[in-house]
Structure 1
Amino acid sequence: MTHQEMLLLNKYTLQGKEIDWKSKNEVETLPSNLLQWISDNVNRISKAQSLPYFIRDNKNILSDINFV
């Protein structure tokens, strides 16, 4: 989210308006190097006592990967 987008979202929220928008910085596809890292480390991740924060906080995006 850009600074300008955040200002606009805050303004509309304070005014009680609902807006449907998409950030110009929105990530629509996961980087291939992230997917490769997960593939290379799936056994380590599944055996870990806790998930890495970047996986735990993005379960909705990574839900089709078996360890999540």
Structure 2
Amino acid sequence: MSRAIRLTKLHALNWYGYRDSLPVRGNLVLAGVTGSGKSILMDLLMLVLVGPERAHHHFNRSATGNK
């Protein structure tokens, strides 16, 4: 039995001010200019996939002042 997860949509409702839905079909590449929200989406994806107890890694540490 496969335990694979297929992501079809990433929906954010006021996640660090981000409000949008991102449909996912096949492979996904997050690309954009600085400040466009790539790291915010990665933080949200980590929370969804592993839960709040294990999603402590923030991809945008410079935004929070952490190094």
TM-score by length of 1: 0.28
Structure with more of its chain in helix, by fraction? 1
TM-score by length of 2: 0.29
Structure with more of its chain in strand, by fraction? 2
Which entry has the higher C-alpha Rg, 1 or 2?
A: 1
